[in-house]
Amino acid sequence: MFKLLFKKERQVQELIFRYLDNLKKTQEHFEQALDCYFEFGLGENCDFLIAQTHKFESRADDIRNDIIEMMYSKVLIPESRGDIFRLLESIDLIPNHFEAVLFMIQSQKIKIPDFIVPDLKEFMRVSLECCDLVIRQVDAYFNKTEDIKALVSTIDSHESRCDHMEREIVSKIFDADMDPFEKMQLKELVGQMGEIADQADRVSRSVYIINIKRRV
């Protein structure tokens, strides 16, 4: 019986690693879509990459549902099930924010002024580094390969930097000679972009708490 339970727990972990791999692919397509948008604006290539981001985000939902179904088939003890379920729900908000940014750009036909493009690129670069670190952190939790507390500190530092950049970008927007509606539209977009690093930081703290509970 214990061998069977261990095997099923391992299967859950393998599905979680599949989920993380898919999250990486979602992030890659999100980044490519943004790069295309910054360079060429909206068009067929950008629309294709947005659609690809959505495809991988949807696949993540399917994998997450498989994990939940397996967990609640008496694979893990109730305490572990609850922790992992909440962690998955928290991680899943990251690709949701990817989609929200792209769909906002696509549906509202937002045009980014040239003077803030370099700032937004750097903003997104640091935000996506947060996501990379979170994936490493979740992997470290299951494989015990890295110091989770050190990763929490690094992610928190990146998230704080993103908060600072977000405020600076918004200030630049409102200092510019632009249509007031466009200013509000861009402010909303920058705020949505900021949710990526914020959510990565929330996931990081969740992993840290779960790890502490496991050691108690």
* Each residue's pLDDT expressed in tens, for the chain with a length of 216 residues: 334 344 566 777 888 899 999 999 999 999 999 999 999 999 999 999 999 999 999 998 899 888 888 777 755 555 567 788 888 899 999 999 999 999 999 999 999 999 999 999 999 999 999 999 999 999 888 887 778 888 999 999 999 999 999 999 999 999 999 999 999 999 999 999 999 999 999 999 999 988 887 765
Residue 85: burial class (beta carbons within 10 Å; 0-12, 13-18, 19+): middle
C-alpha radius of gyration, the chain, whole number: 19
Q: How far apart are CA 210 and CA 101, in angstroms?
A: 29
Domains for the chain: give ranges and CATH numbers. Answer: 2-215 (1.20.58.220)
Torsion of CA 64, 67, 69, 74, to 10 degrees: -150
One-letter amino acid identity for 87? L
Contact 108, 192 (CB under 8 A): no
pTM of the full structure: 0.89
Q: How far apart are CA 60 and CA 215, in angstroms?
A: 29
1 C-beta neighbours (distance < 10 Å), count:
5
